[in-house]
């Protein structure tokens, strides 16, 4: 019944969600017809994020936008999956009638069973019916030369502002042998990007000790893997062994994402973050001393309950001292069912947004100052694609992760291939991006 149905998928949220969506796409392609044209889809699967109120709003608006297509004669079913139904299905099922099927983040295997029931004129709630995703294949949605590798799910860090443990549960690592098999199936990869809610704790639940370095070593043995990038390394367990591996392993890209969230000790304590301003600065200094040219990205939350003017200006001073390559800033989002929701001294939304803007102003100056050092120099850039508005190619240097950091825009009179590396002479920069031209093609 379903093999002739055309099914499309919309993926919202983070790169970890993207990996889930890629597995769902592989399942769909085996049992039905995949389409990337929403107007011809009979079924649309929407994979959602629910981490923040803004993400939940985006998911709900997406459902309404898709539901509006029912009159076109093709759309028959909407499937809602991922974090939003995982956490809120009991509140949504009876009211959110636009959705025909609800699945949790572990229930992708049950998609077609649920759809079969739905086509019998039943609304289906299969959230929590499965305890593990068994889909091994993926259809990549990234350019062909890089891919995300989700090494664990869930989180044991009980940050007071975060819903992830309530949605995704406890930290669960994927065995090393399964990850190696998955990477082998992806083929030649210039860059494998390791992601989890906290990659530094990889293996604690499976092996009784942290095994991130062991995983990196095993991945490095694969001839098909040319680079390994680390995202979401929590600072409190960023140890000397990991620093040494980053410094000494040529396949490890000299870039780390370390979500710090704040710098001031009183705020960190209320967030239930284990680090301190002093320990953070020590870690940053050690990384810069031990790893030549390392790029460090982080994120900060502005306007956490009780964040005083002194705390805020302390954060500004910290950012100026640390000089991060890239930073993301977020206004604190007050989420029910988190401890921080009940904290006193909640801060006005307007003040939070003003603080975020001020932080971006500070970081813009720092980023621009760092990038100016590349003017007149030639750097290695991997081509990610073409920007038709700018009439140039674009790519990334080692200090730029996909989607979250800046880009390198460049021109060339010859032929450019996506996924190939080029030597680009930088002639100008702005706050976050670099611009140049290919000096000569080079291969690493």
Summarised one tens digit per residue, pLDDT across range 235-256 is: 999 999 999 999 999 999 999 9
Spatial CA neighbour of 437 closest among 372, 391, 368, 369? 391
Task: Give the chain's mean pLDDT.
Answer: 96
Nearest to 207 by CA among 171, 181, 231, 233: 171
Residue 136's pLDDT is: 85
Quick check: pTM over 0.85?
Answer: yes
Contacts of 217 (CB under 8 A, 6+ apart): 245, 249
| pLDDT band, very low/low/confident/very high, at 444 (cuts 50, 70, 90) | very low
Q: For residues 282 and 321, is the Cβ–Cβ distance under 8 A?
A: no
Overall CATH class of domain 378-441: mainly beta
Q: What is the pLDDT of residues 328-382, one digit of tens each?
A: 999 999 999 999 999 999 999 999 999 999 999 999 999 999 999 999 999 999 9
DSSP string covering 157-191: ---TT--HHHHH-S-EEPPHHHHHHHHHHH-SBSE
Q: What is the pLDDT of residues 322-337, one digit of tens each?
A: 999 999 999 999 999 9
Burial readout 276-312 (b: 16 or more C-beta within 10 A, e: otherwise) = bbeebeebbeebeeebeebbbbbbbbbbbbebeeebb
- Say what the pLDDT of residue 442 is: 47
Q: What is the CA radius of gyration of the chain?
A: 23
Q: Which of 249, 257, 267 is CA-nearest to residue 299? A: 257
> Domain extents for the chain?
6-125, 146-366, 378-441
Task: Give the per-residue pLDDT at 114.
Answer: 97
Q: Is the pLDDT of residue 313 over 80?
A: yes
Topology given in CATH for the domain delimited by 6-125? Rossmann fold (3.40.50)
CATH of domain 146-366: 3.80.30.20
Q: What is the reported pLDDT for 440? A: 66
**Three-state secondary-structure class, residue 319:** helix
**Cβ atoms within 10 Å of 146's Cβ, excluding its own:** 22
Tens of pLDDT along 385-399?
999 999 999 999 999
């Amino acid at each position: 019944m379903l093999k002739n149905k055309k099914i499309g998928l919309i993926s919202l949220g983070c790169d970890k969600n993207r990996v889930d969506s890629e597995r769902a796409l592989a399942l769909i392609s085996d049992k039905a017809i995949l389409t990337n044209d929403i107007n011809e889809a009979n079924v649309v699967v929407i994979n959602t994020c629910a981490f923040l109120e803004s993400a939940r709003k985006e998911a709900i608006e997406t459902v309404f936008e898709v539901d509006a297509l029912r009159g076109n004669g093709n759309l028959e079913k909407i499937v809602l999956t991922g974090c939003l139904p995982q956490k809120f299905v009991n509140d949504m099922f009876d009211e959110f009638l636009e959705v025909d099927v609800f699945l949790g983040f572990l229930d992708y295997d049950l998609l077609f069973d649920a759809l079969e029931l739905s086509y019998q004129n039943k609304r289906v709630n299969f959230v929590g019916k499965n305890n593990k995703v068994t889909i091994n294949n993926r259809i990549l949605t990234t350019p062909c030369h890089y891919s995300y590798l989700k090494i664990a799910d869930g989180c044991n860090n009980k940050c007071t502002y975060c819903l992830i443990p309530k949605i995704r549960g406890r930290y669960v690592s994927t065995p090393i042998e399964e990850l190696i098999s998955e990477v082998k199936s992806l083929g030649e990869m210039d860059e494998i990007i390791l992601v989890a809610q906290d990659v530094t704790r990889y293996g604690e639940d499976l092996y009784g000790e942290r095994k991130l370095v062991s995983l990196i070593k095993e991945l490095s043995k694969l001839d098909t893997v040319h680079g390994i990038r680390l995202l979401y390394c929590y600072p409190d367990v960023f140890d000397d062994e990991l620093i040494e591996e980053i410094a000494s392993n040529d396949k490890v890209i000299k870039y780390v994402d370390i979500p710090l969230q704040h710098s001031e000790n009183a705020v960190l304590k209320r967030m239930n973050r284990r680090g301190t301003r002093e320990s953070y600065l020590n870690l940053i200094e050690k990384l810069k001393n031990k790893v030549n040219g390392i790029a460090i990205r982080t994120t900060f939350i502005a306007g956490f309950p009780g964040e005083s003017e002194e705390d805020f200006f302390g954060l500004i001073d910290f950012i100026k001292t640390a000089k991060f390559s890239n930073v993301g800033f977020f206004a604190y989002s007050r989420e029910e069912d988190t401890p921080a929701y009940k904290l006193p001294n909640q801060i006005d939304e307007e003040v939070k947004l003003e603080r975020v803007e001020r932080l971006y102003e500070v970081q813009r100056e720092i980023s621009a100052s760092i990038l100016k050092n590349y003017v007149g120099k030639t750097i290695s850039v991997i081509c990610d694609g073409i920007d038709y508005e700018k009439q140039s190619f674009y790519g990334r240097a080692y200090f730029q992760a996909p989607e979250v950091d800046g880009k390198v825009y460049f021109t060339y009179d010859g032929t450019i291939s996506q996924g190939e590396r080029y030597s680009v002479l930088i002639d100008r920069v702005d706050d976050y991006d670099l611009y140049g031209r290919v000096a000569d093609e080079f291969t690493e």
